[in-house]
Structures are given as C-alpha cells and as structure tokens.
Amino acid sequence: MLKNSFISVISQKEENPGSVEFQVFCFTNKIRRLTSHLQLHKKDFLSQRGLRKILGKRQRLLAYLLKKNRARYKELISQLNIRETKNR
C-alpha cells in the first residue's frame, strides 16, 4: 500500500519507474524491515551482511543523486526521513 502510493507520486513526476528515487525508496523499506528483524534476532549474521550491502547501495545512489541534482536529493531525504550522507 505504501509502495503503491509512492509509485504514483513518483510516476506523476517522472515517467521512468527505475528512477533513483524509487530505488532509494525500495532500499529504505528493505532496510527498515531488516532492522526490525535484527532487533528480534540479534545473531542473524547473514541478515546483518545483507543489511550492510543494501545500506551501501543506497548510500551510493544518494551520493549520485546529490552530485546530479541537489534539489531532488533534499526532497527525497525529507520525504523518507533519512539523515544526510556525510561529505567525504
């Protein structure tokens, strides 16, 4: 339900369903599900590894979006309640 509402918001803005915003949204949902899973199962090391991989992918996509279009980056960060990435 949440995914469908976000798809409709993004599809109104852009015609590309594989946009960076949508990918970051999907990764954010996976991250939230995995963190709640890891709170119950603290020794699930394979899920921890998967979480770290997804976090890295999302970080790279956000860095790309920041480099290409800062306004879209700021809007996406505020919509998904994500902290800004650290500047290196």
85 in any annotated domain: no
Structural domain of 69: 20-80
Cβ pair 5, 60 in contact under 8 A: no
What distance in Å separates the CA atoms of residue 47 and residue 51, rounded to the nearest whole number? 6
What pLDDT score was predicted for residue 85? 76
Residue 24 covered by a domain? yes
pLDDT per residue over 11-49, tens digit each?
555 556 688 999 999 999 999 999 999 999 999 999 999
Residue 12 lies in a domain: no
Structurally, the chain folds into a number of domains equal to: 1
Q: Is the pLDDT of residue 56 over 90?
A: yes
Length of the chain counted residue by residue: 88
- Side chain identity at residue 23, one-letter code: Q
Give the mean model confidence (pLDDT) for residues 73-79. Answer: 93
Q: So what's the pLDDT on residue 60?
A: 95
Could you tell me the CATH number of the domain that includes residue 54?
1.10.287.10
Q: Classify residue 62: in a domain, yes or no.
A: yes
Residue 38 vs residue 6, higher pLDDT? 38
